[in-house]
Structure 1
Protein backbone atom coordinates (compact mmCIF):
# COMPACT_ATOMS: atom_id res chain seq x y z
CA UNK A 1 0.00 0.00 0.00
CA UNK A 2 2.80 2.42 0.90
CA UNK A 3 4.52 1.71 -2.41
CA UNK A 4 1.35 2.63 -4.33
CA UNK A 5 1.04 5.93 -2.43
CA UNK A 6 4.68 6.74 -3.12
CA UNK A 7 4.22 6.00 -6.83
CA UNK A 8 1.14 8.24 -6.94
CA UNK A 9 3.04 11.06 -5.24
CA UNK A 10 5.95 10.66 -7.66
CA UNK A 11 3.53 10.76 -10.60
CA UNK A 12 1.91 13.93 -9.27
CA UNK A 13 5.32 15.53 -8.75
CA UNK A 14 6.39 14.62 -12.27
CA UNK A 15 3.18 16.08 -13.68
CA UNK A 16 3.80 19.37 -11.86
CA UNK A 17 7.42 19.50 -13.02
CA UNK A 18 6.45 18.79 -16.62
CA UNK A 19 3.74 21.47 -16.58
CA UNK A 20 6.16 23.98 -15.06
CA UNK A 21 8.84 23.17 -17.63
CA UNK A 22 6.34 23.61 -20.47
CA UNK A 23 5.26 27.02 -19.13
CA UNK A 24 8.88 28.09 -18.71
CA UNK A 25 9.74 26.94 -22.23
CA UNK A 26 6.80 28.87 -23.67
CA UNK A 27 7.91 32.04 -21.87
CA UNK A 28 11.51 31.65 -23.06
CA UNK A 29 10.40 31.00 -26.64
CA UNK A 30 7.91 33.87 -26.59
CA UNK A 31 10.36 36.48 -25.31
CA UNK A 32 13.96 35.25 -25.18
CA UNK A 33 15.47 38.75 -24.92
CA UNK A 34 13.47 39.60 -21.79
CA UNK A 35 14.42 36.27 -20.23
CA UNK A 36 18.11 36.81 -21.02
CA UNK A 37 18.00 40.29 -19.46
CA UNK A 38 16.32 38.90 -16.36
CA UNK A 39 19.00 36.21 -16.01
CA UNK A 40 21.83 38.73 -16.40
CA UNK A 41 20.25 41.09 -13.88
CA UNK A 42 19.68 38.36 -11.31
CA UNK A 43 23.25 37.06 -11.73
CA UNK A 44 24.63 40.57 -11.20
CA UNK A 45 22.50 41.03 -8.11
CA UNK A 46 23.65 37.67 -6.75
CA UNK A 47 27.28 38.59 -7.48
CA UNK A 48 26.85 41.85 -5.57
CA UNK A 49 25.28 39.91 -2.72
CA UNK A 50 28.26 37.54 -2.58
CA UNK A 51 30.78 40.39 -2.77
CA UNK A 52 29.21 41.84 0.39
CA UNK A 53 29.87 38.57 2.15
CA UNK A 54 26.46 37.04 1.49
CA UNK A 55 24.70 39.16 4.08
Structure 2
Protein backbone atom coordinates (compact mmCIF):
# COMPACT_ATOMS: atom_id res chain seq x y z
CA UNK A 1 0.00 0.00 0.00
CA UNK A 2 1.38 3.41 -0.86
CA UNK A 3 1.98 6.19 1.63
CA UNK A 4 -0.64 8.35 -0.10
CA UNK A 5 -3.37 5.75 0.33
CA UNK A 6 -2.35 5.41 4.00
CA UNK A 7 -2.87 9.15 4.42
CA UNK A 8 -6.20 9.12 2.57
CA UNK A 9 -7.59 6.25 4.66
CA UNK A 10 -6.31 7.55 8.01
CA UNK A 11 -8.84 8.93 10.50
CA UNK A 12 -9.22 12.68 10.60
CA UNK A 13 -6.96 14.55 12.96
CA UNK A 14 -8.26 16.40 16.01
CA UNK A 15 -7.49 19.66 14.21
CA UNK A 16 -9.50 18.57 11.18
CA UNK A 17 -12.41 17.59 13.42
CA UNK A 18 -12.40 20.97 15.14
CA UNK A 19 -12.21 22.79 11.81
CA UNK A 20 -14.99 20.67 10.34
CA UNK A 21 -17.25 21.37 13.32
CA UNK A 22 -16.60 25.10 13.06
CA UNK A 23 -17.20 25.21 9.32
CA UNK A 24 -20.31 23.06 9.61
CA UNK A 25 -21.77 25.44 12.15
CA UNK A 26 -21.01 28.40 9.87
CA UNK A 27 -22.10 26.75 6.61
CA UNK A 28 -25.26 25.14 7.83
CA UNK A 29 -28.00 26.35 10.04
CA UNK A 30 -27.17 24.94 13.47
CA UNK A 31 -30.75 25.32 14.70
CA UNK A 32 -32.50 23.13 12.16
CA UNK A 33 -35.99 21.86 12.71
CA UNK A 34 -36.38 18.09 13.11
CA UNK A 35 -37.65 17.84 9.54
CA UNK A 36 -34.71 19.89 8.18
CA UNK A 37 -32.28 17.76 10.16
CA UNK A 38 -33.77 14.55 8.75
CA UNK A 39 -33.51 15.93 5.21
CA UNK A 40 -29.88 16.93 5.77
CA UNK A 41 -29.04 13.52 7.27
CA UNK A 42 -30.68 11.75 4.32
CA UNK A 43 -28.81 13.94 1.83
CA UNK A 44 -25.46 13.29 3.51
CA UNK A 45 -26.12 9.54 3.66
CA UNK A 46 -27.00 9.55 -0.04
CA UNK A 47 -23.83 11.50 -0.83
CA UNK A 48 -21.73 9.02 1.16
CA UNK A 49 -23.42 6.05 -0.52
CA UNK A 50 -22.74 7.56 -3.94
CA UNK A 51 -19.09 8.24 -3.09
CA UNK A 52 -18.66 4.67 -1.82
CA UNK A 53 -20.07 3.26 -5.06
CA UNK A 54 -17.03 4.35 -7.11
Task: Identify whether the pair has TM-score above 0.5, normalized to the shorter chain.
Answer: no
The TM-score with structure 2 as length reference comes to 0.41
Could you say which structure has the larger radius of gyration? 1
Q: Which has the higher helix share?
A: 1
